[in-house]
Structure 1
């Protein structure tokens, strides 16, 4: 079974990996049922959704293939996200409340364990968001709150008004997309790696007990493809294979172990719908890289040290 951790400053005990359900509509029902069952057998009972995944179909499919009922609901942790609409972002009270009701209906449940605001809304009014969160909490529809793709100051602004602690921030992070780590290593340097693009969000989240949930942990660029087995990253793949051989695991396991080795105590979102790959990811929870291995993998991806 997967080891667990506290989500942010809450008392919610969660597995160190979350199962992302964005692609569950891409496989047939029997495979989806088998995948979800495998996740539960592995102890990966934290499932991440969003109202835009499959235009809502992913949540419906998930509830169907897990055979949602009261008994099942007590055994799983459900997280979903809202705030993205076609052509705009929307943190208005009306939209969030409506989105949550629809999410709950699709997931066939009375409550979400965690609700995240999906992308920063330039027109967000934090006082209105705070009022909305109070309604959702008092009604029992949402138990914990967080954000996704938010920088440090955006979180601070929200937290000034929102009384509930923001327990998670979902951010793109992988070996090849590691600018939030790179900028912290290139302090006071005159190079592109020193550019702080996110307000030191990694350190900010650590300081404020906000769990970072890395999304697309195998992707390079913005959904350009996976780096595993990719000819564009020969040195990285050679190093991953070398370390994987030492631990007698797959390169998939090592790529996730690299994230788990960071002391920020992150909870990666695993987006695969392949049961074998899911098992490989879960093995990462028991694979602890040395400091030398972590840095050698980091450098093999083309990242430089000052």
Structure 2
């Protein structure tokens, strides 16, 4: 299995990360409960049991409750904090009553206050990696650089990255920031194929309809930026979710995944993740579930490597059209 760019930088991150968006219950303002914390413990235990030591948060996940649950877990498990890698994100302000939309905010004030909130909810003095969550059209890169410099200098954040950004956006930020951006988290899965399609559609008519920004994958690979995949299990499309009303290409691909899993003596989840992890970019899937059984079902993913034929068969089946 390929070495993660994070590992090349000396960060001992596991091949798979656990996304914590589901921790804390609903996206409301109700306080966390003992049941939320119990569920969190079970998910953490399941992750640790299959070698996952990296946990992905965001300040908005269940309106901060996901981090509060983790903070309680840390209180109840002394020593755990130093055994794992914590990544969180900031930059999205959730819609409140009277607002017309969520908005994005990379102002220095918002970044600094967001990190203070993250640390308070987690009950820790630092986070290992902070990601800027979604591109802010009003972003001033010098202002961002100033905030990140302050966070690094005070020891609140050890490393920085981005989420949902293009190569051009990363390059612009990097031109002003002394600290390297070491992660780019993007929506990638066997059902979300634009990151692959963009590369094979150059100089062809379909390219104009592909929204994945040209050169992003290549830039991250050349600059040793860890590509992380959010939504890598495609919400269970290929691993047991009801396929009623799904198009034929999804139904056929799910059957293909099941057949490969049976042949290799593993689970559909492991096959779906292995499809991502077979790619030479050393993609790190961020699995977004609190279900211990589903977490455990991912255990074989970093032990498998699909053949070129298996990888292409899955890709072409899911995209629903032949390659040129």
Common fold by TM > 0.5:
yes
Partner residue in 1 for 2:170: 155
1:139 and 1:256 mapped to 2: Cα distance?
A: 37
1:1-306 mapped onto 2 (5 Å cutoff): 5-7=4-6, 10-26=9-25, 28-67=36-75, 71-86=79-94, 87-191=102-206, 195=210, 197-219=212-234, 226-229=237-240, 230-231=243-244, 232=246, 233-301=250-318, 302-306=320-324
Q: What are structure 1's unaligned runs of at least 5 residues?
A: none
- Aligned-pair distance for 1:89? 0.7
- Aligned-pair distance for 1:184? 0.5
* 1:77–1:113 CA contact under 8 A, matched in 2: yes
Cα deviation, 1:212-236, whole Å, max 9, x if unaligned, reads 110011227xxxx734332422110
* 2:159–2:182 CA contact under 8 A, matched in 1: yes
2:91 and 2:160 mapped to 1: Cα distance?
A: 13
Alignment TM-score, normalising by the size of structure 2: 0.87
SS in 2 for 1:203: helix
Cα deviation, 1:124-170, whole Å, max 9, x if unaligned, reads 11011111111110101000000000011110100000111100001
2:210 and 2:37 mapped to 1: Cα distance?
A: 45
* 2:198–2:214 CA contact under 8 A, matched in 1: no
Cα deviation, 1:76-103, whole Å, max 9, x if unaligned, reads 1000000001331111111101000110
Large movers: runs of 4+ above 6 Å: none
* 1:171–1:215 CA contact under 8 A, matched in 2: yes
Q: CA RMSD in A?
A: 2.0
Closer/same/farther in 2, CA of residues 15 and 261 from structure 1, 3 Å limit: same
1:135 and 1:94 mapped to 2: Cα distance?
A: 11
Alignment TM-score, normalising by the size of structure 1: 0.92
- Aligned-pair distance for 1:69? 6.0
